[in-house]
Amino acid sequence: MLKQEAGDGEHSLVDPQFRSDVLEGLARRPRAIQARWFYDRRGSELFEDITDVPEYYPTRVEAGLLESAGPEVAALSADGCAVVEFGSGSSAKTPALLRHVRPAHYVPIDISGDFLRDSARGIAKAFPDIAVHPVEANFMDPVPLPDAVADAPKLGFFPGSTIGNLTAYAAVDLLRTMRASLGEGSRLLIGIDRIKDPAVLVPAYDDAQGVTAAFNLNLLERINRELDGTIPIDAFRHEARWNDEIARIEMHLVATRDTAFTVEGRDFAIAKGESIHTENSHKYGPRDARALLRAGDWMPIGEWTDADNRFALILAEA
């Protein structure tokens, strides 16, 4: 089925996985839709905007850590290595790492070919000495790496605390999958957000300007655009909750009134106060983070945090 995406004038096929995830997620109790579906064109733009709001500290703190830890990470990295980035997106954080490590190869892996080729071109231009080999793939599955890097030592790069989107079980599964993709003896530099005061965490996911709210609500707009939905957006409000038991921020879309709508011709009714759970962002204490890595068969060999211990960069070895 061909659909027009609002705004960009491009035709794109509706992802059948998006369709089934949304229909199942809206029917299930509690209702939940996976965070990966936030990132259509508009959602990716809104996420970039989130990284600029004052309350959202992770991006800025991690960028500072990449600068300060860069020389030590470089000293611990092999000459002629290949940096392999999982979910490279716009490769915004990559130049900081590449400047220090100076690898022979850069392998950005992303599920969205759109951004991948653009950002690969940008990196190739800025770093003429680095061979760039983009790979369009879902990094949740083992990714066969290009032949050109078969013999190069690998340094995986997984910044942004993206691992936090996953439950502990799924995170361990992903770490093991990354190990399988990179191979024995490889290394992984991963960014992991710390557990901290909910008075800091909650505003980071519910900023005063309402950018995170717009990001969350865009999921409903995407459903309306791509799946013939009739969801009244104004019947939902964004909510960020700290779940202390599981040490995670949860994002929800809470119905502000009883509402009924259709998606792909199916009827749904949501009562006032009911929520659609749209994202988890798990946080890890220092020992939690290292235990998570070891559970994924990665041995931590280096760790860098900011003075306020808000965020950690961990280097681990397979």
Residues that bind ligand AVJ (CB under 6 A): 50, 58, 160-162, 164-165, 205, 212, 279, 281
Query: Minimum Å distance from CB 161 to ligand AVJ?
Result: 5
Helix (H) or strand (E) holding 135: strand 135-136
Q: How far is the CB of 279 from ligand AVJ (least distance, A)?
A: 6
User: What residue number has its CB nearest to ligand AVJ?
Assistant: 281
Question: Per the structure block, which two tokens stand in for 147?
Answer: 């032949």
Q: Which is nearer to ligand AVJ, 119 or 162 (CB)?
A: 162
The nearer residue to ligand AVJ, 91 or 165, going by C-beta atoms, is 165
Q: How far is the CB of 72 from ligand AVJ (least distance, A)?
A: 24
Q: Shortest approach of ligand AVJ to residue 59 CB, angstroms? A: 9
Peptide bond into 30 cis (omega under 30): yes
Query: Shortest gap between Cβ of 284 and ligand AVJ (angstroms)?
Result: 12
To the nearest whole angstrom, how small is the minimum distance from the Cβ of residue 193 to ligand AVJ?
7
Of 165 and 186, the one with the shorter C-beta distance to ligand AVJ is 165
By C-beta, is 225 or 238 nearer to ligand AVJ?
Answer: 238
Rounded CA separation 190/312 (Å): 8
Torsion angle defined by CA atoms of residues 103, 75, 100 and 78, in that order, rounded to the nearest 10 degrees: 0
How far from the centroid of its chain's Cα atoms is residue 211's Cα? 17
Residues 6+ apart with CB under 8 A from 97: 66, 70, 73, 83, 157, 189
CB of 50 or CB of 171, closer to ligand AVJ: 50
Distance CA 118, CA 91 (A): 10
HSE (side-chain half, CA atoms, 13 Å) at 25: 22
CA distances (Å), origin 119, targets 44, 106, 107, 162: 14, 12, 11, 19
Nearer to ligand AVJ, 24 or 52 (CB): 52
